[in-house]
């Protein structure tokens, strides 16, 4: 049996029924990583010894007829901004190159408590700032469908690891698209939960009012499974909701009757790659064939999304990253005779942070500075409220919205590195969802032929707040009409 091609659900079932041992699953995952890593660099750290130990402990419990949980023996990868009490948590940054977290993030702990085996920590844009994984201080990750191209970002390592079959599922974080855009570039499923659904305790903060942890998988069912295990209140995160997560798996296969789908007009932009428009139409046609009414809707303030996002996110980042000064946290520059404390902070931060992180700290600090606060930060908050209201209005008549995951398929490494704004514009279809705090999921809905290679193209479904149950049922309806997701041959 090729364990690495199995879905998480099938693998968990095979392990629970002892057709495969947890140790075999962990070894298969590590072997696949050994094969793919020279080409992909999806991981910053692999836990060979710890993963085998964890897997053996699961096998020992299964042998005693215990039930270690719904993820018993399933290999999982974590984005490297999610704290784990072993290994390093670097956030893709020199600043945290040697950081060892003393504790494990709640989301990761819940997976471990459900029996998951942590295979390793995945590569990412530094502090989750980027859309290509090229901002990692430790070198980029490559797209498994074409290694000359980026996997998207910032959760690019997690997306590449899942697409290449190293793990059936991984965790990423999404502040402005960092789960959904790489899921689209790598042809897999990526779910950004409602803000407050998953505890942020142990997620290194980028922009606290936007950040959410979520799953990357190869099927909607597997995303639902990881969400079910992870979601729910946590005493360590005061922004987390106390609402119980409905049972996501119970009605997943039930089609939704009298479904209304809205396609925001701005999503049909003429600047999209042709294959993005085709995939959108194909997804809309598939949902109509299942009885849905699909019609155009307006999100009048969507055009302000990028500007509002890059003010709010950088303002929050400039505050969150203040702790990395070489004294409280992070890499400390060499102390030189005659220099004062400010010099030490300055050199530590200049050496520890890469250029994009520095740019964003400066942007955010400027937006918050007295004299500019109203013109920038406060105006962005106003735009944020209008964007949220647009979505609320749309959900008065729609069950979900359908739009692209990004304006084009995966681009080449280096193609957008000299133009930060071009990279920011990649996020046009994802950032509004974070500003409004909504759940959204990306699925592979088509392909683009570029330079003789077939690249995946994703679409995104956005749901009303707290309706992951409805959103995933609609995603499952759509998934049934699409070709099955396969593992990329690396």
Alpha-carbon span 444 to 450, nearest angstrom = 16
79 part of the active site: yes
Q: Residue 216 belongs to what H/E stretch?
A: strand 212-217
Contact call for residue 131 and ligand GLN (CB under 6 A) = yes
Tell me the window of 39-47, 92-100, 171-179, 278-286 that interacts with ligand GLN (CB under 6 A): 171-179
The residue from 7, 29, 136, 154 that is catalytic is 154
Task: Give the shortest CB-390-to-ligand GLN separation in angstroms.
Answer: 20
Contact call for residue 432 and ligand GLN (CB under 6 A) = no
Q: For the residues of 19-63, what is the DSSP string, one character each?
A: SS-HHHHHHHHHHHHHHHHHHH--EEEE-HHHHHHHHHHHHHHHH
Among 29, 106, 175, 406, binds ligand GLN (CB under 6 A): 175
CA distances from 304 to 300, 388, 394, 408, 430 (A): 9, 12, 17, 20, 12
The dihedral through the CA atoms of 422, 424, 426, 428 has a sign that is negative
The residue from 79, 121, 192, 416 that is catalytic is 79
Strand pairing partners for 280? none
CA distances from 151 to 172, 277, 411 (A): 13, 20, 9
Task: Find the residue with minimal CB distance to ligand GLN.
Answer: 178
2: Cβ–Cβ under 8 A, 6 or more apart, which residues? Answer: none
Backbone phi, then psi, for 297, in 5-degree steps?
Answer: -130, 160
Tell me the window of 122-130, 162-170, 218-226, 258-266 that interacts with ligand GLN (CB under 6 A): 122-130
Task: Give the shortest CB-186-to-ligand GLN separation in angstroms.
Answer: 15
The candidate with the shortest Cα–Cα distance to 125, out of 201, 188, 179, is 179
Interface characters, 151-170, with ligand GLN (x: CB under 6 A): ---x----------------
Alpha-carbon span 55 to 451, nearest angstrom = 42
Largest CA distance in the chain: 74
Q: Which is nearer to ligand GLN, 51 or 223 (CB)?
A: 223
178 part of the active site: yes
DSSP category for residue 103: S
154 part of the active site: yes
Contact call for residue 313 and ligand GLN (CB under 6 A) = yes
Task: Give the shortest CB-192-to-ligand GLN separation in angstroms.
Answer: 9
Alpha-carbon span 205 to 202, nearest angstrom = 9
Contact call for residue 279 and ligand GLN (CB under 6 A) = no
The residue from 136, 155, 178, 199 that is catalytic is 178
Contact call for residue 177 and ligand GLN (CB under 6 A) = yes
Contact call for residue 174 and ligand GLN (CB under 6 A) = yes
Size of the site for ligand GLN (CB under 6 A): 13
Q: Which is nearer to ligand GLN, 136 or 175 (CB)?
A: 175
Among 176, 408, 409, 456, binds ligand GLN (CB under 6 A): 176
Q: Which is nearer to ligand GLN, 91 or 401 (CB)?
A: 91
Catalytic annotation, residues? 79, 154, 178
Contact residues: ligand GLN, CB under 6 A? 128-131, 154, 174-178, 206, 313, 427
């Amino acid at each position: 049996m090729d364990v690495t091609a199995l879905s998480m659900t099938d693998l968990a079932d095979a392990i629970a029924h002892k057709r495969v041992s947890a140790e075999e699953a962990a070894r298969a995952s590590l072997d696949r990583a050994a094969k793919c890593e020279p080409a992909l660099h999806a991981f910053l750290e692999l836990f060979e010894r710890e993963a085998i130990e964890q897997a053996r402990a699961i096998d020992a419990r299964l042998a005693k007829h215990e039930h270690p949980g719904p993820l018993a023996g399933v290999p999982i990868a974590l984005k490297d901004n999610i704290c784990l009490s072993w290994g390093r948590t670097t956030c893709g940054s020199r600043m945290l190159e040697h950081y060892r977290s003393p504790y494990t993030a709640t989301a990761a702990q819940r997976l471990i408590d459900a029996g998951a085996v942590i295979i390793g920590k995945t590569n990412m844009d530094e502090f989750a700032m980027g859309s290509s994984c090229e901002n990692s201080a430790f070198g980029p990750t490559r797209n498994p469908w074409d290694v000359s191209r980026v996997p998207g970002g910032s959760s690019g390592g997690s997306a590449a690891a899942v697409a290449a079959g190293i793990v059936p599922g991984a965790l990423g974080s999404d502040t402005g698209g960092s789960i959904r855009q790489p899921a689209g570039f790598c042809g897999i499923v990526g779910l950004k939960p409602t803000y407050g659904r998953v505890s942020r305790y142990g997620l290194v903060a980028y922009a606290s009012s936007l950040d959410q942890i979520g799953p990357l998988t190869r099927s909607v069912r597997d995303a639902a499974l990881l969400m079910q295990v992870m979601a729910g209140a946590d005493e360590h995160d005061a922004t987390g909701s106390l609402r119980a997560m409905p049972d996501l798996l119970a009605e997943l296969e039930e089609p939704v009757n009298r479904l209304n789908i809205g396609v925001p007009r701005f999503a049909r932009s003429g600047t999209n790659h042709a294959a993005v428009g085709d995939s959108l139409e194909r997804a809309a046609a598939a949902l109509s064939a299942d009885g849905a009414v699909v019609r155009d809707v307006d999100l009048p303030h969507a055009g302000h999304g990028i500007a509002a996002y890059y003010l709010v996110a950088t303002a929050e980042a400039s505050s969150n990253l203040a702790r990395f000064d070489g004294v409280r946290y992070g890499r400390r520059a060499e102390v030189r005779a005659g220099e004062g404390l400010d010099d030490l902070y300055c050199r530590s931060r200049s050496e520890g942070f890469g250029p994009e992180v520095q740019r964003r700290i400066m942007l955010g600090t400027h937006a918050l500075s007295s004299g500019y606060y109203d013109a920038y930060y406060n105006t962005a908050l106003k735009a944020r409220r209008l964007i949220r209201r647009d979505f609320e209005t749309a959900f008065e008549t729609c069950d979900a919205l359908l739009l692209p995951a990004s304006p084009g398929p995966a681009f080449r490494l280096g193609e957008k590195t000299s133009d930060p704004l071009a990279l920011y514009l990649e996020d046009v279809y994802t950032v509004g969802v974070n500003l409004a705090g909504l759940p959204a999921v990306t699925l592979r809905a088509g392909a683009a032929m570029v330079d003789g290679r077939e690249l995946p193209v994703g679409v995104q479904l956005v749901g009303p707040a707290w309706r992951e149950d409805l959103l995933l049922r609609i995603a499952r309806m759509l998934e049934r009409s699409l070709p099955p997701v396969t593992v990329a041959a690396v």
